[in-house]
Amino acid sequence: MQKITIITFYTLVILLFSSCEKDFEELAENPNNPEEVAPDLLMVNMIRSTANNMVNDAFSIGNVAAQYATEIREPNVDRYIWNSFGLWNDGYSTLRDVNNLYTIAGEREHDNYQGVALIWKTLIFSRLTDAYGDLPFSEALKGKSESVYFPSYDQQQAVYQGMIADLEEANNLLSVTGGSVSSDILYGGDIMKWKKFGNSLRLRLLLRQSNQVDPSAAMQALLADAERYPIFQSNEDQAIVDYTDSPNYFPLAGYRSGHFLDRRLSSTFADHLNTLQDPRVKVFAQPTVASREAAGSGTGELEWQGVPNGETDENLGSDIDRQVSQFGSIYYIDQQVAAPAEGLIMTYAEVAFTLAEAAQRGWINADAEEHYNNGIRASMEYYQGFSEETLLPDELYFQQEGVAFDEAQALELIGLQKWIALFFTDLQGWYEWRRTGLPELAPSIVNNNENRIPVRFNYPTDQQVTNQENYTEAVQRQGRDDINTPVWWDQP
Amino acid sequence: MFDLLPARVKKKNTFLLTLFMFYLSTLLTVQAQSRALTGTVADTKGEAIPGVNVLVKGTTQGTITDIDGNYQLSVPETAKTLLFSFVGYKSIEREINGLSTIDVSMEVDATQLGEVVVTALGVERETKALGYAVQEVKGENLVQARETNIVNSLAGRVAGVNVTNGSGSIGGSSRIVIRGETSLTGDNQPLFVVDGIPITNSINGSSQSGQDIDYGNAASAINPDDIATISVLKGPNAAALYGSRAANGVILITTKSGKGTQGIGVSVNSTLTLESPLKLPDFQNEYGQGRGGVYNIGDGGRSWGPPLDGRPMAVPVNTEWPPAEGETVDWVPHPDNYQEFFETGKTLNNNISISGSNDQGNFRLSYTNLDQTGIVPNTDQTRNNVTLNAGYKLTDKLRANVSANYITTVSDNRPVMNYGNESIVYTWIWEGRQVRTDKMRDYWVKGQEGLQPFTYNYQFNDNPYYTVYENLNGLDRSRLIGNVMLTYQLSDAFSVMLRSGTDLLNERRDSRRTPGSSAYSFGMYRQDNNTFKERNSDFLLTYEKQVNPDIAIKISAGGNQMKQVREELSARANELNIPGIYNLGNSRVPLENIQYDSEYRINSLYAFGQFAFKEMIYLDLTARNDWSSTLPPDNNSYFYPSVSLSTILTDLLNVPSSSPLSFAKLRAGWAQVGNDTDPYHLRNVYYYGTPWDGNATVYESSTIANADLVPELINTFELGTDLRFLNNRVGLDLTYYDIRSKNQILSIPIDLTSAYTSRSLNAGEIRNHGWEVMLSASPLANPKGLTWDINVNWSSNRSKVLELAEGIETYELPSRYVSVQARVGEQMGDMYGIGFQRDPEGNIIHSNGIPQFTDELIKVGNYNPDWMAGIYNTLRFKGLSLGVLFDIRKGGDIYSRFLVRGNEAGQLVESLPGREDGYVGEGVMLTEEGNYVPNDVNVTAERYWGSGYFNPEQATFDASYVKLRELKLGYTLPNRLVSNTPFRHINFSLVGRNLFLWSDVPHIDPDTNALNGGTILPGIEDMSLPSVRSYGFNLGFTL
């Protein structure tokens, strides 16, 4: 009996308490994830997140708001049943790691990563402020470093000043002889292209705020010293994310077909393209099913047709699928792999149109017509890369009325062509329409906004919870948190 | 407390008596000396009684029996008589007559209140000695009208316990909260303890966009057949023994041990039940698929199409799609199409157990097989439980107990829940009212088998049959819960216990998607492997002494080490090379992998003391100190005490037994519990993103970690009374409690514009207080005829958020569609959402005929009930028994996503008004002059109901309900029929659960709630499957 007792207790004591254990210090360490990383590890996620957001937002909001597209199944954007959408949360979430990149690069004295981080920060902030207006900028992103948990909002004017200053600093930091940048899925580590992008972005900002701030001096200074301030010179330079096609990482590839097919060509866009016989329509959209059947049986020709934005339910009946063009196969093909479209962040064509407008308005000393034609040609050349048909315009395209440069209507012409070129480029088409009113857009036929095209996004509703005081202050200053309140640069 | 007044008059245990007589007669001749006396005290069923006073008559010499009913006593030669006494039992005197072993069998004294309950560490104690609320549910109440999820069995049975059902998946989760929500970030779930060993009850959801699958709360796998009792310890007084996790109460499960079996016994229990939907939605059946009154196949499946008037219509009709040229069908409704999709679920449960006991030991071996198919076609669950429980006296002083529970749970397929295109209810919301269910059953398009399923809407919806038969979500889980325990009697007063227990859970989940699914053009395969291990090792030294006839003390001190390990591995092939081969090697894209490992430890020392004075006043003290690895290493220690007191007023005040007041007890308890946090909350880390073309990438977590966290603190006070009247035929048990939780480790939301969404800190104070009432009565108690017992339990909890962090007035809890927020000064469970703009008279303001929504969130409801009640009636007549359990919930609100989307889709009855001529909304509109005039703008029904009307305010309903939870009619064959057969006992019952529901909530059972990864979101219904009514029969016999 005694033996049993001793043996059992001894065994149990061994089993229970003798195993070699980690101490509590070790147990507190997370074995799964690093606490510190090198700057290059932040690059892919930063660039991809923003590019994906831009593609998704262009597809679901921007294309509809600027009337390239219309919704035939779930007309919420078209009927102006708007909310804050996802830009705010997506933007500030990505800014966390943009900020980390800047900080880590600073600790490691890596100027080029710092420059890249500043450009990316500006890119994100500019798309946010153009959508929402005032927002936290100077106090933002300081949760961890300075314990600022509830940043106050900056007026948009101050945001623009800050962004332009950041781009100046980025341009100063970036140097082709500086340290190399890797995991760069935008420019493959080409610092000169980053510099060009930063300065081109600066041109965009100067133009966008031009109703409030005369851009002449700033633009002239920028353009006067091409060595110090290089900008996009050709499509080679433009900021575009080339999605791999196997697997197809283009963000729309994962959509259900219904979501893709919900967005069709808007008649606003279709009519303009058809009027000009613009060859890009062949990439932008597919001929209607009805016209394909007709062409197949030799009884008709291929047609690209749109639907008016905000069409009534009664006119969105069963035949609509056949009568209206869906978007091009580079954006989505059900069950197949296509060479996907690219993520347009900023094109050379946009820069050319910006210079054309600046020249036309007399802000810079340049040939508006030349830049205008460059813009059209650059856009066509770009889309040529996605088509087996020839898209390059003949001289007739440039000579026709509505394209041919005409001093009297120069701004309208530039506006129209810029609008076409900005298709699927973030929300830039809508932002530019708000600035210029070009091209002329009619409100959606059926809408919940008293026949006004929205000019702003609501702030996210959680701002009323998580940052209430600053939110309230901003709303009092800027005007009702409403989709009809113009932001600073949009004010008369 | 359903066994409050059990018929304690048990048949004599003739076997033991015979044994006893035998001992008496054979041992009479043994010579008397100064000697040690030993023995065992059991009740008439043979169950050991611990704590019995054994006294040499006329002296103060004595002892009390240990946990197994054993006693040892040194008696002088002069001693003649032993006195056995224990509250609730008739005292017994036994002549010593030179015996060295005296075993006795004690009979229940019907005039006393002697019920015992299992308390912490498995110690059975008299309820009268407890200074805090404990309520017990006997295993026999769980096995006839049974739930496959043991948590659901507690609904309506225990005062203060709030069971919230999940979204209706087979094998799905339920949430249980005792006495309200004390924590803003924790799951507020009580700790589950099986035979003294804490086990995990984490909710095993899988959340991924459009792919929420409910893999069940972990404790749901405990088999009711193996349960002897479930004790619900409502307050945190047991936390000293089980640690901080017991702060929200303890569900203490004691499994059957085989003790008390006469010889070898075999017991068999079989149940077969059928399940069908309890409540079905009210669909409209006047308009078919389309928009704007026009049919459209690609419209997302709305029913805003043409009237279903029998007109011929060219629409998809069957698997030969597209329809032949000119082929039409009659455009008529199929009112039962949704209902026809659901099958009758079947649950077959078989248990066989063999048990035995003698004076050396006891054992029970049990096997249970549960085979279940759900109401959703091709969903199932099979569960096998093998349970072994054994105890053996290795020596006179050393006893060993082993308990092991091995469980396998296998599902070939579980349904996808919530809102997303793989969810069944989602699919049906987007099927037109003309859709024929029978035409979808054969789901492949002819000629495209394996590639293209037939549907009524090719752009958004999958065929629901295709979804459930081709896109499978499997589960294969095995679990071992077990412990080894040794107790050694060092001396009369001292004993030591060593125990080690383990909870080991290992599971593999497989999600398979075929090409042809609208979400996965190339198919998809995902595999998850999860391991959870927890080991608890304890030692406990106990000193127990009857100091004198008036004072008994028991003091214990011990230690515990808790070690918990999680290993989670998930791999996902988002596109497959070869369709139909579900292997990670068959991926045509880089795999997405997630790995998470964690290790967590708490070391503890604890002590508790119980002091009894004259069996009238009982004082319990506990204290515990924990050291947790999740807290900062230099500040990881925390201490928490408790005290409770029970006084028997009727004894203290000498209330005569003739008084109508038969018994009165007053109890009071105070407890404090400290709490730690989850592992790795102290430092910020980077997570891995999907690599791009070989370039790895990371992103930072959005929470700012805090390296200076301190433990949380919960303070509870409770006061209760237990009153019995009219010779115990009426009983009233009242409890009031007040819980304050402070210093919670919160992830305080900060504004995302700071680059982070939250930061960890200690903050906040929440108060919960409430009442629990248990009323029992035996209006009829005729031992030979009809008996009728009623048990009513009622509870009401109120909570208030006293404080959040500095500068924070609002804290958002996990929610969806509506925002569940804790606001300072308000209640827990408040739900906020967009509502209608209203004029000063409260009329809804319209603009262009459309109701206008508020810019700001308004309070739309609160999900916590005002009160809950359960009413259980038992009627017995000879061998017949009838049990009826009503579960009542008053107040609380639920937001119905089904109603919102169902009306947006034009499928539900609310969407009918104005279909032909448009609808003029009730309310006002603003004139240009700024006056409110009645709205007179006519808009289409589609615009009004489809996109304008159903906001959170309009979709939140009073969730009050009455449910007939349980109905059982049983018959036990009389002994005279059984006695000549091999059977000892035969019982047959007709059983039903959730048979009827009375509720004002349209379309849904208000007791269905959304799943959200590791939690259930109370108050939010999100495309829940219909809850089920279950009915069948149960057969039990023993050999």
Residues of B in contact with A77 (CB under 8 A): none
Strand-pair category, B893-896 with B1020-1021: parallel
A277: left (phi over 0), alpha (psi -120 to 50) or beta: left
**CB nearest to A44's CB, from B394, B397, B695:** B695
Average pLDDT, rounded, for chain B: 85
Nearest-Cα distance to chain A for B299, in Å, is 6
| B833 vs B711, residue with greater confidence | B833
pLDDT, one tens digit per residue, over B543-563 is: 999 888 889 999 999 999 999
Q: Do B291 and A100 touch (CB under 8 A)?
A: no
Q: What's the confidence (pLDDT) of residue B12?
A: 36
* Nearest one of A325, A490, A347 to A417, comparing CA atoms: A347
- Alpha-carbon span B40 to B668, nearest angstrom: 34
Nearest-Cα distance to chain B for A373, in Å, is 37
Strand-pair category, B845-847 with B924-926: parallel
pLDDT band of B284, cuts 50, 70, 90:
very high
Question: What percentage of chain B has pLDDT greater than the value 90?
Answer: 44
Q: Which residue in this structure is represented by tokens 């319209």?
A: B846
Residue B127 has pLDDT above 80, yes or no: no
At a CB cut-off of 8 Å and minimum separation 6, what does B476 contact? B408, B409, B410, B507, B508, B509, B510
Q: What's the confidence (pLDDT) of residue A154?
A: 97
Rg (CA), chain A: 26
- Alpha-carbon span B57 to B41, nearest angstrom: 17
Residues of A in contact with B596 (CB under 8 A): 32
Instruction: Compute CA B373 distance to the chain's CA centroid, rounded to the nearest angstrom.
Output: 21
Nearest-Cα distance to chain A for B300, in Å, is 7
Residue B722 has pLDDT above 80, yes or no: yes
Q: Do A16 and B755 touch (CB under 8 A)?
A: no
- Mutation target among A18, A21, A32, A314 for the B interface, most CBs of B within 10 A: A32
Distance of CA A87 to CAs A126, A201, B777, Å? 11, 19, 63
Q: Encode burial over A321-352: b for 16+ CB neighbours within 10 A, e otherwise.
A: bebbbbbbbbbbbeeeebebbbbbbbbbbbbb
Q: Do B518 and A467 touch (CB under 8 A)?
A: no
- Mutation target among A1, A6, A159, A313 for the B interface, most CBs of B within 10 A: A313
Residues of A in contact with B633 (CB under 8 A): 24-25, 28
| B167 vs A358, residue with greater confidence | A358
Predicted TM-score of the model (pTM): 0.81
Residues of A in contact with B848 (CB under 8 A): 448, 450
- Alpha-carbon span A167 to A154, nearest angstrom: 18
Quick check: helix, strand or coil at residue B317? coil
pLDDT band of B27, cuts 50, 70, 90:
very low
- Give the chain B residue nearest A15 (alpha carbons): B500
Lowest mean pLDDT among B177-186, B576-585, B847-856: B177-186
Q: Amino acid identity, residue B684? A: N
| B1036 vs B781, residue with greater confidence | B1036
Residues of B in contact with A144 (CB under 8 A): 684, 704, 755-756
Distance of CA A66 to CAs A100, A313, A428, A449, Å? 34, 21, 9, 16
Q: What is the maximum span of chain B, computed from C-alpha positions, in angstroms?
A: 114
- Give the chain B residue nearest A27 (alpha carbons): B629
pLDDT, average across residues B630-634? 87
Q: Do A95 and B755 touch (CB under 8 A)?
A: yes
- Alpha-carbon span B870 to B850, nearest angstrom: 44
DSSP code of residue B90? -
Confirm if B658 and B686 have CB atoms less than 8 A apart: no
Q: Which residue in this structure is represented by tokens 């209140």?
A: B113
B537 touches chain A (CB under 8 A): yes
Nearest-Cα distance to chain B for A59, in Å, is 17
Q: What's the confidence (pLDDT) of residue A256?
A: 74
Residue B424: count of CB within 10 angstroms of its CB: 25
pLDDT, one tens digit per residue, over B734-756 is: 999 999 988 888 888 889 999 99
Q: Do A317 and B458 touch (CB under 8 A)?
A: no
Chain B 417-446, residues with CB within 8 Å of chain A CB atoms: 421
Residue B8 has pLDDT above 50, yes or no: no
DSSP conformation letters of B457-481: -TTTPPPHHHHHHHS-EEEEEEEEE
- Tell me the sheet residues that pair with B830: B821, B862
DSSP conformation letters of B798-839: EEEEEE-STT--EEEPS-BSBEEEEETTS-TTEEEEEEE-B-
Segments in chain A below pLDDT 70: 1-22, 246, 317-318, 334-339
Chain B 616-655, residues with CB within 8 Å of chain A CB atoms: 627, 629-630, 632-633, 636
- Alpha-carbon span B768 to B179, nearest angstrom: 8
Lowest mean pLDDT among B211-220, B625-634, B725-734: B211-220
B929 touches chain A (CB under 8 A): no
Residue B582 has pLDDT above 70, yes or no: yes
- Give the chain A residue nearest B422 (alpha carbons): A256
Lowest mean pLDDT among A74-83, B440-449, B756-765, B793-802: B440-449
Residue B213 has pLDDT above 90, yes or no: no
Residues of A in contact with B562 (CB under 8 A): none
Q: Which residue in this structure is represented by tokens 């050319």?
A: A352
- Tell me the sheet residues that pair with A155: none
- Mutation target among B518, B754, B756 for the A interface, most CBs of A within 10 A: B754
pLDDT, one tens digit per residue, over B941-960 is: 998 998 778 899 999 999 99
Residue B33 has pLDDT above 60, yes or no: no
- Give the chain A residue nearest B806 (alpha carbons): A149
Q: What's the confidence (pLDDT) of residue B873?
A: 93
Confirm if B664 and B722 have CB atoms less than 8 A apart: yes
- Alpha-carbon span B1007 to B994, nearest angstrom: 11
Nearest-Cα distance to chain A for B450, in Å, is 14
Q: What's the confidence (pLDDT) of residue B707?
A: 84
- Mutation target among A9, A41, A45, A326 for the B interface, most CBs of B within 10 A: A45
Q: Do B293 and A41 touch (CB under 8 A)?
A: no
Q: Do A73 and B632 touch (CB under 8 A)?
A: no
